[in-house]
């Protein structure tokens, strides 16, 4: 594992230096993608890194879009066995595929919906032994479906995100959330998206190439890392931009034109 070849994505996220302590600790990562280019591979990548065998991180995956079997197969091909990690209490899977919050004000009652979900996350983190409770990664796949589950009440979802944000300060958790940028592109003031971008410490955008998709370049990633490396005197915001190709066992990242 030591000679793990770091790639541009790891570099941009700051995962190339060390995995312990977890570099994303206390940070919020927002991933935005589009219909043509799915950004879920970034989730898988971070999940794999956080469950790396030489760290003690714990991951909580809140899945609105896919069943466990899907993640299990995908991660297994990346070299990470979720079933084993689940048995070792390093991976927690919350299946939210059928979660439906009742509409109107009933949804605000604490027994159901997103508040209950938050309670579940909180309990899971509190119940962890002390050593690992500092390195919890909460992954949400994805926010737009969470909005649907909340019957379109984006405020409700934003409240949930703010609650989760308190976890990042209270327990130094990291919070990773996927959302779809193009959903909001027609709105003149997409509050939900803008708020998420404001909250995020790292913003990752997955976009198709302007020239269309090709079999050797699947799209481009823009990673905005706010407040990285500032101790070393370099700029506070670091923007990385590169192309990627998603494979079963790895994501290849490279600068435009530098491939093959």
Partner 1 sequence: MAAAKTRTSSFSRNLSAAAPSQGPGLKCGPNGTVFLSSGISDLDKILGGGFPLGSLVMVMEDAEAPHHMLLLRNFMSQGLVHNQPLLYASPAIDPRGFLGTLPSPAASKDEKSHKHDPDQEKGLRIAWQYKKYFGESQLNFDGQRDGKHEYSNEFDLRKPLERHFLSAQRVDCVSIQDSPNLSALQDRSATFLSQYPRNDGSISCAGRIAIQSFSAPQCAYSNMEWDMLSFIRSLKSMVRSSNAVALITFPPSLLSPSFCKRWQHMADTLLSVKAIPDEDKELSQLLTGYQDMVGFLNVHKVARINTQVPVILDATTFSIKLQKRRKQSTNHHKNEKPSEMKNRIHPYCIVHKVVAYPSKPLGEPDRRWLLSYVKWESLRTQSNLLY
Binding site for partner 1 (CB under 8 A): 35-38, 40-41, 44, 66-70, 72-74, 76-77, 79, 81, 83-84, 87, 97-98, 100, 144-145, 148-149, 151-152, 180, 182-187, 212-215, 218, 246-248
CB 73 to partner 1: min, Å: 4
Sign of the alpha-carbon torsion through 230, 236, 32, 165: positive
CB of 73 or CB of 236, closer to partner 1 = 73
CB 69 to partner 1: min, Å: 4
Map residue 99 onto helix, strand or coil. coil
CB of 81 or CB of 241, closer to partner 1 = 81
CB 166 to partner 1: min, Å: 28
CB 65 to partner 1: min, Å: 9
CB of 15 or CB of 47, closer to partner 1 = 47
Sorted by sequence, the CB contacts under 8 Å of residue 111 that are 6+ apart come out as none
Distance, CA of 120 to CA of 109 (rounded, Å): 15
Q: Which two tokens stand for residue 43?
A: 């989730």
**What are the residue ranges of helices labelled H in the chain?**
8-13, 40-50, 68-77, 82-87, 113-126, 143-149, 154-170, 181-184, 191-199
């Amino acid at each position: 594992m030591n000679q793990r070849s770091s790639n541009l994505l790891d570099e941009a996220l700051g995962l190339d230096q060390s995995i312990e302590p977890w570099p994303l600790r206390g940070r919020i990562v927002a991933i935005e993608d589009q219909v043509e280019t799915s950004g879920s591979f970034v989730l898988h990548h971070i999940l794999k890194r956080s469950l790396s065998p030489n760290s003690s991180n714990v991951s909580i995956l809140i899945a609105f879009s896919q069943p466990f079997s899907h993640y299990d197969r995908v991660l297994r091909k990346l070299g990470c066995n979720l079933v084993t990690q689940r048995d070792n209490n390093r991976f927690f899977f919350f299946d939210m595929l059928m979660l439906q919050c009742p509409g109107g004000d009933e949804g605000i009652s604490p027994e159901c919906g997103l508040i209950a979900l938050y309670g579940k996350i909180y309990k899971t983190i509190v119940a962890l032994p002390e050593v690992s409770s500092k390195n919890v990664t909460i992954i949400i796949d994805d926010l737009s479906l969470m909005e649907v589950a909340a019957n379109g009440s984006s405020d409700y979802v934003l409240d949930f995100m703010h609650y989760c944000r308190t976890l990042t300060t209270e327990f130094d958790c990291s919070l990773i959330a996927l959302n779809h940028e193009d959903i909001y592109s027609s709105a003149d003031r997409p509050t939900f998206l803008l708020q998420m971008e404001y909250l995020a410490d790292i913003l990752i955008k997955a976009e198709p190439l302007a020239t269309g998709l090709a079999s050797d370049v699947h799209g481009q990633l823009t990673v905005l890392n706010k407040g990285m490396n500032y101790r070393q005197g370099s700029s506070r915001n670091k923007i990385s931009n590169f192309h990627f190709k998603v494979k079963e066992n790895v994501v290849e990242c490279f600068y435009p034109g530098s491939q093959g």
